[in-house]
Amino acid sequence: MIKFYGYKKCGTCRKAELVLQHSGIDYVFIDITEHPPSATELSAIATLARTPLNKLFNTSGIQYRELKIKDRLTAMSDQAILTLLAGNGRLIKRPLVTDEKQATVGFNEEQFMQTWC
């Protein structure tokens, strides 16, 4: 089953959901702000998506700027990054989509469709 970590008020998440819905693909929606993936899940998603951990951050988010993550990121260990993200879903780039065999981070329509449709 495909897990879709997103946020209903996020326009990018809505676009990605529409692609899945129009393609008839079943998925489970998980509100990333209320139930962020665990550090273990985030690590697996990053590996499957071939994405460095620092690219899991929602760099346009208010909390990213307020917490000055950009300034702290180079000094953070992988475990510190995963712990921070797992504790605050608003810091995570969305949507995160995975079926535990493959994953996508964010929404690039072409890549998203190639992966999920």
CATH number of the domain bearing residue 107: 3.40.30.10
Number of domains in the chain: 1
Residue 112 pLDDT level (bands cut at 50, 70, 90): very high
Binning the chain into helix, strand and coil, the percentages to the nearest 5 are 50, 15, 35
Please compute the mean of the pLDDT values over residues 99-114 and round it to a whole number: 96
Q: Mean pLDDT over all residues of the chain?
A: 96
Q: Which structural domain, as residue segments, surrounds residue 50?
A: 2-116
Locate all alpha helices (DSSP H) within the chain, ordered by sequence: 11-22, 39-48, 62-66, 69-72, 78-87, 109-116
Please compute the mean of the pLDDT values over residues 14-41 and round it to a whole number: 97
pTM over 0.85: yes
Residue 49 pLDDT level (bands cut at 50, 70, 90): very high
Task: Write out the two tokens for 43.
Answer: 């690590």
Residue 35 pLDDT level (bands cut at 50, 70, 90): very high
